[in-house]
Amino acid sequence: MKTVVEIIWSVLQTQVLTPVLVVVPPSGATAEQINAEEHLLGMPIAAEYRQLLASWNGIDLDVLRFYGCGQTHPGMGRLFERQIRDRSGSAEGGLVIGSDPAGFVYIQNLDGRILTLDTDGGEIRLSAENLADFLGRLVFGKDAAEFGGPDWEATIRQNGLL
């Protein structure tokens, strides 16, 4: 399976995303910035997410935004500031790592699993076993229709990601 960074690079090489809605920071976070963010959060950042942060320190992929640490690109959002203070159930102890334009929030549990929080109804559901599975299978892969509907799946297919 590809790494999170490899999946994102593959997507960026296609025409899947709307260019004016994509923000790719010119550099990643330093180890010091990531460690400082962990200190503020009071919890570790999963290795997969650390790799994303080291590459881009947050990234906005049009259909999905991942938060950064320290001084982030304008409008990107900082991990520490994006945490939801009142969570329940399986999201307890998880780290809010991103969101999408439809209002869903993505949480990475300490075990690496990705949960989706529907901010309208409050429902939390397991979406993927890890971040690479979330991106490679659900958002930009074979289960893309589950993430963005049949038109999104067609766009993924049309751009050679399936």
Bridge partner list, 68:
78
Q: Is residue 32 part of a domain?
A: yes
Q: Is residue 44 part of a domain?
A: yes
Low pLDDT (below 70) residues in the chain: 72-76, 84-93
Q: Is residue 155 part of a domain?
A: no
Q: Is residue 89 part of a domain?
A: yes
Instruction: Give me the pLDDT at residue 91, please.
Output: 52
Q: Could you give the number of structural domains in the chain?
A: 1
Range of the domain at 117: 4-9+18-143
- Residue 58 makes CB contacts below 8 A (sequence gap 6+) with 25, 65, 66, 67, 68, 69, 72, 73, 76, 77, 78
What does the pLDDT look like over 19-50, one tens digit per residue? Answer: 999 999 989 999 999 999 999 888 899 999 99
CA 103 to chain centroid, in Å, comes to: 13
- In what helix (H) or strand (E) does residue 12 lie, and over which residues does it extend? helix 4-12
Secondary structure of residue 102 in the 3-state scheme = coil
Instruction: Give me the pLDDT at residue 78, please.
Output: 72
Instruction: Give me the pLDDT at residue 74, please.
Output: 67
Instruction: Give me the pLDDT at residue 30, please.
Output: 94
Instruction: Give me the pLDDT at residue 89, please.
Output: 42
Q: Is residue 161 part of a domain?
A: no
Q: Is residue 153 part of a domain?
A: no
Residue 160 backbone class (left: φ over 0; alpha: ψ -120 to 50; beta: rest): left
Bridge partner list, 145:
none
DSSP 82: G
Q: Is residue 159 part of a domain?
A: no
Q: Is residue 150 part of a domain?
A: no
Average pLDDT of the chain? Answer: 89
Here the CATH number for the domain that contains residue 79 is 3.40.1580.10
Instruction: Give me the pLDDT at residue 93, please.
Output: 67
